[in-house]
Amino acid sequence: MLVHAINNAAYEFASDVRVGLTRSGQKELPSKYLYDDVGSALFEVISHLPEYGLTRADERLLQSHADEIVERLDAPVAVAELGSGSGKKTRWILEALGRWQRTFYYPVEISRSALAMCERELSDIDSLSIVGFEREYLDGLLEVAAHRQRNQHLFVMFLGSTIGNFDRAAGVKFLAEIRHILQPGDSLLLGTDLEKPAEQLLKAYNDEIGVTAAFNLNLLARINRELDGNFDLRQFEHTSKINREARSVEMHLVSKRRQIVRIPASDLRIEFQEGETIWTESSHKYQPEEVFQMAKNAGFSCEAQWIDEQWPFAENLLIAE
């Protein structure tokens, strides 16, 4: 079952585009808008590219440690996943839970097609009930919390490296907002991508066949589709770079020439200089020990951490204090 969002999403998109592209200095667009139906499908392709080892590391850890993770949870639990995507890598946890309880699973996604894909992917698991919410992360989690049954714990999954899209202070703030919705003893499984050589990171965010470029450029195509913009995608190109001070990888879209773009739904006429960029996403990388302090600052304790050695990546089990 899918619960659709009833909100002013189109107005919010138009407003965020206006604010981001008129910002003094660096133009930027929120990374969440990369994930419409087209963007979500492209990201699924990215997750299988040889250069992008993060998703495979995530899956290896979940497959190898699913039983151990589940054994550390206080039963009974309901599972909420923020940004579920296709749900493929969540299968290991849900199957492990299914061996000892009937499970309610609540994927929260802003992409309707990703939610539909998730339901198809996981519908064959016995003793699993799926209710998807087409919502922003925290709005969806609030609705899941409202469905909590008496004496039931919530187990929230925030996999991949999505926490890295926030800068470090904002990431802690987001975790604290999750904690505010939870009750003591509830849990959060948090994925964090770890620091690795710059060359390896740049290849992962600028793959040889150009899927990441298409994913990034789709944001401009989405503005054209939904906000009547007139971006000429041939006049922009994708680039990624290392921000050593922030310990992050940044994705940008570079204007190839001086040009003017109109976006009627945002009431916007915006000029770009040759070489000027739109900053579309950051992916912050962590040291393993950082996660323990992040958790503490947000009202959690980090009970366990599992690290993949092939592609340095960590799954972290946080318990709400």
Q: Would you say residue 41 has pLDDT above 80?
A: yes
Per residue in 68-124, pLDDT (tens digit) is 999 999 889 999 999 998 888 999 999 999 998 999 999 999 888 889 999 999 999
Cis peptide bond prior to 264, omega within 30° of 0: no
Look at residue 6 in the predicted model and tell me its pLDDT.
41
Separation between Cα atoms, residue 118 and residue 97, nearest integer Å: 17
Contact 266, 14 (CB under 8 A): yes
Closest by alpha carbon to 33, among 227, 244, 293, 302?
227
Taking only the tens place, the pLDDT of each residue in 214-271 is 999 999 999 999 999 999 999 999 999 999 999 999 999 999 999 999 999 999 999 9
Task: Please state, for a pLDDT cut of 90, what percent of the chain lies above it.
Answer: 89
The owner of tokens 């620091």 is 195
| Domains of the chain as residue ranges with CATH | 16-34+199-284 (no CATH), 54-196+288-320 (3.40.50.150)
Cis peptide before 76 (omega within 30 of 0): yes
Predicted TM-score (pTM) of this structure: 0.93
